Amino acid sequence: MRILIIEDDMETADYVMAGLHRSGHLAEHVSDGREGIVCAAGGNFDAIVIDRMLPGTDGLTVVKTLRSVGVKAGIIFLTARAGVDDRVEGLDAGGDDYLTKPFAFSELLARLHSLARRPPLSDVETILRVADLELDLIARRAKRGDRDIQLRPREFRLLEYLMRNADRVVTRTMLLEKVWNFHFDPKTKIVETHMSKLRAKVSLEGEPELIHTIRGAGYVLRAPA
């Protein structure tokens, strides 16, 4: 992926750049809003990571400008502003995701991946398949091989999200946001308990495990090697 980072804090920029290079992505960095607009409009990036508070032109304006000139790249706001309305403002301006500083790099990476592979809104896909796991989105049915899996509505959504992001790490926060629509950090293990229930239903004893925990990062659903 080609990723543009618009961030005035060098330390954060270096940290993100280093992480992205380590994960095999191409990353470019500019530290000012105006430069960011020029760079993003000209350079065909897959994703843009932008600080909300920038010297010169602020992040919101940059994103609004980019969207108005037709830049389609996924945009993630990265910001120290964790205000109640800040996320709404960020998304209204045309951002796709909003991540509050400080953040774990794994979180940013997972969100970038999720952004980049978002399919171009094809509603054609009505059955999701990973290995022998099948999810029928119309009939609301899950099957592992020939075995029917009884899922509660929220478990269905959780599995659907994992399957749509198959082979990609999804973080706990992403799951809270996308499956439950919770934009806060619960102090109890909501994701963990639901995940362990789902896991027990998806893989009975003897069946190969499909949902894996990635320590310090999140979960991934993938076909057994």
Q: Does 165 bind other proteins (CB under 8 A)?
A: no
- Enter the tokens of residue 9: 């804090």
Binding mask 119-148 for other proteins (x = CB under 8 A): ------------------x--x--------
Q: Does 116 bind other proteins (CB under 8 A)?
A: no
For residues 108 and 16, is the Cβ–Cβ distance under 8 A?
Answer: yes
Binding mask 179-198 for other proteins (x = CB under 8 A): -xxxxxxxxxxx--xx--x-
Binding region for other proteins (CB under 8 A) out of 34-42, 54-62, 67-75, 178-186: 178-186
**Identity of the residue, 37 or 175, whose beta carbon is nearer to other proteins in the bound complex:** 175
Q: Does 201 bind other proteins (CB under 8 A)?
A: no
For residues 11 and 53, is the Cβ–Cβ distance under 8 A?
Answer: no
Return the SS3 of 13: helix
Question: Phi and psi of 205, rounded to 5°?
Answer: -60, 135
If we measure between CA atoms, which residue out of 73, 10, 12, 11 comes closest to residue 44? 73
Q: Does 105 bind other proteins (CB under 8 A)?
A: yes
If we measure between CA atoms, which residue out of 120, 222, 124, 125 comes closest to residue 170? 222
Return the SS3 of 194: helix
Binding mask 3-42 for other proteins (x = CB under 8 A): ------x-xx--x--x------------------------
